[in-house]
Amino acid sequence: MPAEDDKLWLEQPVIALKGIGEKLQERFARRKLFTLNDLLFHLPVRYLDKTRILPIAGVRINDSALVRGELLSCKTHYARRPVMTCQISDGSAMLILRFFHFNQSQTQALARALEEGKWLSCFGEIKRGRQGLEMTHPEYRIIARDQLIQVQEHLTPVYPTTEGLSQTALRNAIAQVIQQLKQQQKNNSQREFITDFLPEPIRRELALPSLSQSLLYLHEPPPECSVFELTEGGDPWRQRLVLEELLAHQLSMKQIYQQQTQHKACALRIKSAQLFNRKLSQTEQNSHELTNSPGAKNSLSAPFLQQLPFTLTQSQQRVVQDIAEDMRQPHPMQRLVQGDVGSGKTVVAALSALFAIENCFQVALMAPTELLAGQHYDNFRQWFTELDINMAFLSGKSTARERREALEAIADGSAQMVIGTHALFQDEVNFNNLGLVIIDEQHRFGVHQRLSLLAKGKKQIQQTMYPHQLIMTATPIPRTLAMTAYADLDCSVIDELPPGRTPVDTVVIGQQRRDEVLARVHHACLNGRQAYWVCTLIEESEVLQCQAAEQSYELLREQLPDLAIGLVHGRMKAAEKQAVMTEFKEGRLVLLVATTVIEVGVDVPNASLMIIENAERLGLSQLHQLRGRVGRGSQASACVLLYGQPLSKNGKARLMTLRETSDGFEVARKDLELRGPGEILGTRQTGLAEMKIADVIRDQHLIPKVNDIALRMLRDYPEAVTPIINRWIGHSVEYQNV
Bridge partners (DSSP) listed for residue 255: none
With 70 as the cut, is the pLDDT of residue 118 above it?
A: yes
Task: Tell how far CA 673 is from the center of its chain.
Answer: 12
Name the least confident of 236-240, 284-288, 586-590: 284-288
- Quickly state the pLDDT bin for 298 (edges 50, 70, 90): low
Cα 103–Cα 105–Cα 110 angle in degrees, nearest 5: 90
Name the least confident of 29-38, 320-329, 392-401: 392-401
Residue 452, pLDDT score: 63
Q: Running DSSP on this structure, what letter comes out for residue 307?
A: H
Closest CA to 600 of 445, 470, 474, 497: 474
Bridge partners (DSSP) listed for residue 74: 86
Secondary structure (3-state) at 657: helix
CB distance 424 to 457 below 8 Å:
no
- pLDDT greater at residue 634 or residue 10: 10
With 90 as the cut, is the pLDDT of residue 40 above it?
A: yes
Q: What is the mean pLDDT of residues 158-187?
A: 89
- pLDDT greater at residue 90 or residue 692: 90
Residue 278, pLDDT score: 44
Residue 506: which residues within 8 A CB-CB, separation 6 or more? 627, 638, 639, 641, 658, 659, 662
Percentage of the chain lying above the pLDDT 70 cut:
85
- Quickly state the pLDDT bin for 634 (edges 50, 70, 90): confident
Residue 284, pLDDT score: 42
Nearest-angstrom CA–CA distance, 175 and 183: 12
With 80 as the cut, is the pLDDT of residue 189 above it?
A: no
Name the least confident of 263-277, 501-515, 629-643: 263-277
- pLDDT greater at residue 601 or residue 339: 339
Residue 556, pLDDT score: 93
Residue type, 348: V
Nearest-angstrom CA–CA distance, 433 and 642: 49
Q: What is the mean pLDDT of residues 99-122?
A: 77
- Quickly state the pLDDT bin for 293 (edges 50, 70, 90): very low
Q: What is the mean pLDDT of residues 153-157?
A: 91
Closest CA to 624 of 444, 440, 445, 476: 476
Residue 2, pLDDT score: 40
Identical fold for domains 261-494 and 504-661, yes or no, is yes
Bridge partners (DSSP) listed for residue 157: 47
Residue 165, pLDDT score: 92
Residue 679, pLDDT score: 56
Name the least confident of 44-58, 89-103, 270-284, 660-674: 270-284
Q: What is the mean pLDDT of residues 328-332?
A: 93
Q: What is the mean pLDDT of residues 290-301?
A: 54
Residue type, 7: K
Residue 483, pLDDT score: 80
**φ, ψ for residue 430, nearest 5 deg:** -120, 115
The sign of the torsion formed by the CA atoms of 571, 573, 577, 583 equals negative
Domain 261-494 carries which CATH code?
3.40.50.300
Residue 405, pLDDT score: 93
- pLDDT greater at residue 430 or residue 187: 430
Residue 378's CB is within 10 A of a number of other CB atoms, namely 17
- Quickly state the pLDDT bin for 736 (edges 50, 70, 90): very low
Bridge partners (DSSP) listed for residue 393: 419
pLDDT in tens, 449-486: 556 666 666 654 456 688 999 999 877 777 777 788 78
With 50 as the cut, is the pLDDT of residue 116 above it?
A: yes
With 50 as the cut, is the pLDDT of residue 286 above it?
A: no
CB distance 341 to 476 below 8 Å:
no
Residue type, 432: N
Domain 504-661: top CATH class: alpha beta
Closest CA to 134 of 82, 101, 85: 85
Percentage of the chain lying above the pLDDT 90 cut:
42
Q: What is the mean pLDDT of residues 657-672?
A: 82
Helices assigned H by DSSP within 114-155: none
CB distance 639 to 506 below 8 Å:
yes
**φ, ψ for residue 537, nearest 5 deg:** -135, 150
Residue 448, pLDDT score: 57
Which value, in Å, is the radius of gyration of the alpha carbons in the chain?
31
With 80 as the cut, is the pLDDT of residue 33 above it?
A: yes
Q: What is the rounded average pLDDT for all residues in the chain?
A: 83
Name the least confident of 27-31, 165-169, 499-503: 499-503
Nearest-angstrom CA–CA distance, 606 and 721: 54
- Quickly state the pLDDT bin for 146 (edges 50, 70, 90): confident
- pLDDT greater at residue 440 or residue 462: 440
Q: Running DSSP on this structure, what letter comes out for residue 279?
A: P
With 70 as the cut, is the pLDDT of residue 380 above it?
A: yes
Q: Which helix (H) or strand (E) holds 706?
A: helix 703-716
Nearest-angstrom CA–CA distance, 659 and 639: 9
Residue 1, pLDDT score: 40
Report domain extents, the chain. 7-46+157-232, 52-151, 261-494, 504-661
Nearest-angstrom CA–CA distance, 377 and 574: 13
Q: What is the mean pLDDT of residues 682-692?
A: 59
**φ, ψ for residue 337, nearest 5 deg:** -110, 115
- Quickly state the pLDDT bin for 362 (edges 50, 70, 90): very high
- pLDDT greater at residue 737 or residue 477: 477
- Quickly state the pLDDT bin for 687 (edges 50, 70, 90): low
Residue 107, pLDDT score: 62
- Quickly state the pLDDT bin for 72 (edges 50, 70, 90): very high
Nearest-angstrom CA–CA distance, 565 and 582: 13
CB distance 596 to 625 below 8 Å:
no
> What architecture (CATH level 2) is domain 52-151?
Beta Barrel (2.40)
Residue 454, pLDDT score: 65
Q: Is 300 left (phi over 0), alpha (psi -120 to 50) or beta?
A: alpha
- Quickly state the pLDDT bin for 738 (edges 50, 70, 90): very low
- Quickly state the pLDDT bin for 492 (edges 50, 70, 90): very high
Residue 287, pLDDT score: 42
CB distance 472 to 438 below 8 Å:
yes
With 50 as the cut, is the pLDDT of residue 347 above it?
A: yes
- pLDDT greater at residue 9 or residue 322: 322
- pLDDT greater at residue 280 or residue 415: 415
Q: What is the mean pLDDT of residues 219-232?
A: 82
- Quickly state the pLDDT bin for 366 (edges 50, 70, 90): very high
- pLDDT greater at residue 279 or residue 513: 513
Residue 84, pLDDT score: 85
